[in-house]
Amino acid sequence: MRTQFYPENVFKFCPRCGSSRFIPVNDKEMHCTTCGFRYFVNPAAAVAALITDTSNRLLLTRRRNAPSEGMLDLPGGFVDKFETAEDAIIREIKEELNIRIDEISFFGSFPNEYLFGGIVYFTLDIVFECAVSNFDTLRPADDVTSCEFITPDKINLNEIGLDSVKNIILAYWNAKK
């Protein structure tokens, strides 16, 4: 499957000393037997927003870039250094959709494998339900080519590019039943 793109199968040289004796200790750690450098494979934090309109349709976006270019996605992105998840979702929604979030509440977290540039990055997608009262300024920007509101029965999971987003949407609609 994607395991050939896991860090332990991609990183062949120590990033500190360049030695080829950079070996996996287990599925979470790599170690250089020359200089002693240890690298831990930990997930990166990402955020996603569940935004619905007054007709209970979910706001989905189309990805501008790889991975899953052109596929449906939830708005969101990576958490920057020294940024809270809450600040990240507010920033990402402003960057991608030019709308302001009025309220946010934690929905859940979902693990993901994010294949980019020949390596899998493990992420933990932190998901928020976001209330938006005004969609007048809604316009796709940044890494989003378009956006659309879709009713639950019309969402085609095969059009969604990331497995974690499929899982998020399924969990969200199951929680709303």
Which stretches of 8-167 are assigned E, i.e. beta strand?
A: 22-26, 29-32, 38-40, 44-51, 58-63, 72-73, 76-78, 103-116, 119-131, 144-150
Q: In Å, what is the CA distance from 86 to each residue of 35, 43, 107?
A: 39, 18, 12
Residue-level pLDDT, tens digit, the chain, 177 residues:
589 999 999 999 999 999 999 999 998 999 999 999 999 999 999 999 999 999 999 999 999 999 999 999 999 999 999 999 999 999 999 999 999 999 999 999 999 999 999 999 999 999 999 999 999 999 999 999 999 999 988 999 999 999 999 999 999 999 987
Residue 54 and residue 12 share a domain: no
Domain of residue 22 covers 3-40
pTM: 0.94
CA dist 40 and 22 (Å) reads: 12
Are 10 and 29 found together in one domain?
yes
Same domain (yes/no): 18, 53? no
Q: Residue with structure tokens 């020949």?
A: 118
Bridge partner residues of 150 (DSSP): 58
The DSSP letter of residue 31 is E
Question: Residue 152 pairs with which residues in a beta bridge?
Answer: none
Distance CA 36, CA 157 (A): 45
Instruction: Specify the CATH number for the domain of residue 30.
Output: 2.20.25
CA 130 – CA 3 distance, rounded (Å)? 34
